[in-house]
Amino acid sequence: MVANPIDMTVLEKDDIQGLLLRGHGQLSSASYLLYAFTNPAKARHFLQVLVPKVTTAAEKPEDTAIQIALTYDGMAYLNLPDPVMQSFCREFKEGMTAAHRQFILGDTGENAPKNWNWGEKSPHFMLMVFGKSPEALQLALAEVNALTSSHGITALHVLPTGMLHNRKEHFGFRDDISRPVIRELLKNPENAQEETFPAGEFIMGYKNLYEEYASCPTVPAAMDKKGDLPPHPDDSNLKDLGKNGTYLVFRQMEQKVHAFWQYMKAQSKDNQSAIALASKMVGRWPDGSPLTLCPARPTPSLSEANDFGFWQDDKAGLKCPIGSHIRRTNPRDHLVTETSQKDSTEMAAKHRMIRKGRPYGPPFVPDLNPEKMITRKEDNQERGLHFICMVTDIRRQFEFVQNNWVNFHKFGGLEHDADPIIGNHYHNESRKTDEFSLPQYPVRRKLDQLPNFTLIKGGAYFFFPGIKALQYMADHD
């Protein structure tokens, strides 16, 4: 029998910004800086100076790293030609705060952009600066400040980050366990133990799950006067501005940790039941072990477990509720509306994202132990997550998940349930989304009037270009 030929596509790591392939986890300090240009010529000169400093995926930085992402408004400010600007996808052009995008993302009520700290008016670009220590970060930030100031660039917001204990997020749950693996990064993809994804799902210029090149921004060949850009794979009249870049979705999510644990406590007879209830909402125990594999109690040996499905083990959601956070953001092999495991798996795979976010703000308790958080008083400190995901198709990947799975209150045959952790919970004439259903014998339990445990405080859609694309923008006159 002849084996299927393996796609031997090689990723152009020296043209890809490092964060797309690495989390820079060894650089534990980081700041995200939002800026506005004030002069197009200076802006382009700034990019020319910056390009050699941008960390590529070919490097493994040990001290500092710097990455750049631009919004549609930012690129429009650079006076990129109209055919180039028009070639970006509609979601990116409209921006996260356009009325219809708000509707799709569920950014209404408490989460409406008018209540955000930033993003209602789009910044022009974001620098993401990483350091191996707070001191290293400060040195890098000083250099960045000098560079931006000398080019008349206005600093809009500084978003500091802080890694938390044991890779947890602020509610006290192990985070970022389920990550899609890019096939082209593996030496022997045919031997991969877990599901792998073609690079084109996350990096433009490569083939995606549909075996086609993801839609990407382009430049008419005649307009690439310096020949910075590679040809477009499907159209010889165009150059590929997207190659080795991607779209970066940024959402600043404030986490209401005190309210979260107080709600659990109010619904439970003791602390252990409160933790079990919170785990039902998440779909994993605080240590990360999945309820599907260990429904009765956490199992530390399974804290990184990711090789499980719902179709065989928990179709009805008796262990891990259908409406729980992990079943919505990655339904794996079971979608209630599908009639087969194969179809469910195929459908779910088409909506994955690479996540690169970091928490911000001080932990509610240093070790993020839920039992201590239940008993601790409100400290009125702001904390949360800078959610970052990278996708080649904003609509199919990020917006689909946010709209169809996270916020749709009818997900999986449910009636009034948005995602219990990150969904927008409210109750008005036309919609009620503040319930959480726990399938159990004899009759399901329904929790009502869930407050919003997370609030959106800012956000924007960015283009995270490859180095050559960045050079084109800097060279463009």
Partner 1 sequence: MSTIHKGLTVTVTLDEEKISYVNGLLMEYRKDLKIYQEKFSTSLRGTFFLSWLTLPAQVYAEKEKLPARILLMSSYVGSQSSHLRELASFLGPQLKQVFGQSREYPEKELDESGLVDFLKAKSIPNTFYSGFKFISTEDVNREKSLKAEVWQYGQGLDGAGKRTSPREIKEKIETFVRNQPQLAWAAKKIPYGLSNKIQMLWPLALFGLIMLASLISLILCLFLDLLILKILAFIFPIFILVMGFLFLLLRLNENIPHSPSPELSDEKVREIVALETNPVINEMTVIAPLKKGWIRRIFLAITLKLVGLVAYFAYIPTVHTARWLQMDRGKRLVFIANFDNLSEAYAHDFVDSERRAMNMAVIFSHAFGFPATRWLIHKQYNHRSNYMKGVRAHQKVTQFWYAFQHELSVENLKRNRTFREGLNKKMNDAEIREWLLTL
Verify cis geometry, omega within 30 degrees of 0, for the bond prior to 160: no
- For the CB of residue 213, give the shortest distance to partner 1 in the complex, in Å: 8
Residue 236 has a CB neighbour count (10 Å cut-off) of 9
Which is closer to partner 1, CB of 205 or CB of 363? 205
Asked if 397 contacts 353 with a C-beta cutoff of 8 angstroms, the reply is: yes
- For the CB of residue 218, give the shortest distance to partner 1 in the complex, in Å: 13
Q: Which of residues 137-196 bind partner 1 (CB under 8 A)?
A: none
- For the CB of residue 211, give the shortest distance to partner 1 in the complex, in Å: 8
Q: What whole-number distance in Å separates Cα of residue 388 and Cα of residue 253?
A: 10
- For the CB of residue 44, give the shortest distance to partner 1 in the complex, in Å: 27
Q: What whole-number distance in Å separates Cα of residue 285 and Cα of residue 283?
A: 7
User: Residue 383 is encoded by which pair of tokens?
Assistant: 């904390």
Q: How many residues sit in the footprint of partner 1 (CB under 8 A)? A: 42
Which is closer to partner 1, CB of 288 or CB of 317? 317
Q: Is 207 an interacting residue with respect to partner 1 (CB under 8 A)?
A: no
Taking the alpha carbons at both ends of the chain, their separation in whole angstroms is 56
Which is closer to partner 1, CB of 165 or CB of 445? 445
Q: Which amino acid is at 254?
A: E
Select from 69-77, 355-363, 381-389, 401-409 the region that touches partner 1 (CB under 8 A).
Answer: 401-409
Which is closer to partner 1, CB of 411 or CB of 453? 411
Which is closer to partner 1, CB of 108 or CB of 138? 108
Q: Are β-strands 358-360 and 384-391 bridged in parallel, bridged antiparallel, or unpaired?
A: antiparallel
Which residues have CB under 8 Å from 13's CB, separation 6+? 21, 56, 57, 58
Asked if 68 contacts 376 with a C-beta cutoff of 8 angstroms, the reply is: no
Among 189, 231, 439, 451, binds partner 1 (CB under 8 A): 439
Select from 65-73, 96-104, 304-312, 325-333 the region that touches partner 1 (CB under 8 A).
Answer: 96-104
Select from 97-105, 171-179, 224-232, 270-278 the region that touches partner 1 (CB under 8 A).
Answer: 97-105
Beta bridge partner(s), residue 380 = none
- Where is 208: in which H helix or E strand? none
Q: Is 313 an interacting residue with respect to partner 1 (CB under 8 A)?
A: no
Which residues have CB under 8 Å from 389's CB, separation 6+? 248, 249, 353, 354, 355, 356, 357, 397, 398
Beta bridge partner(s), residue 159 = 32
- For the CB of residue 232, give the shortest distance to partner 1 in the complex, in Å: 13
- For the CB of residue 208, give the shortest distance to partner 1 in the complex, in Å: 9
Strand ranges (E), 232-299? 238-240, 246-255
- For the CB of residue 439, give the shortest distance to partner 1 in the complex, in Å: 6
Among 116, 408, 453, 464, binds partner 1 (CB under 8 A): 408
User: Residue 13 is encoded by which pair of tokens?
Assistant: 């790591």
Q: Which of residues 334-393 bind partner 1 (CB under 8 A)?
A: 335-339, 342-343, 346-347, 350
Site string for partner 1, 220-249 (x = CB under 8 A): --------------x---------------
- For the CB of residue 396, give the shortest distance to partner 1 in the complex, in Å: 7
- For the CB of residue 226, give the shortest distance to partner 1 in the complex, in Å: 29
Residue 312, classed as helix, strand or coil, is coil
Which is closer to partner 1, CB of 212 or CB of 379? 212
Residue 186 vs residues 6, 104, 189, 211, 214: alpha-carbon distances, Å:
11, 35, 5, 19, 21
Buried b (16+ CB within 10 A) or exposed e, 365-384: beebbbeebbeeeeeeeebb
Q: Is 443 an interacting residue with respect to partner 1 (CB under 8 A)?
A: yes
- For the CB of residue 422, give the shortest distance to partner 1 in the complex, in Å: 18
Binding-site ranges for partner 1 (CB under 8 A)? 90, 93-94, 100, 103-104, 210, 212, 215, 234, 316, 335-339, 342-343, 346-347, 350, 395-396, 399-400, 403-404, 408-410, 412-413, 415, 430-431, 439, 441-446
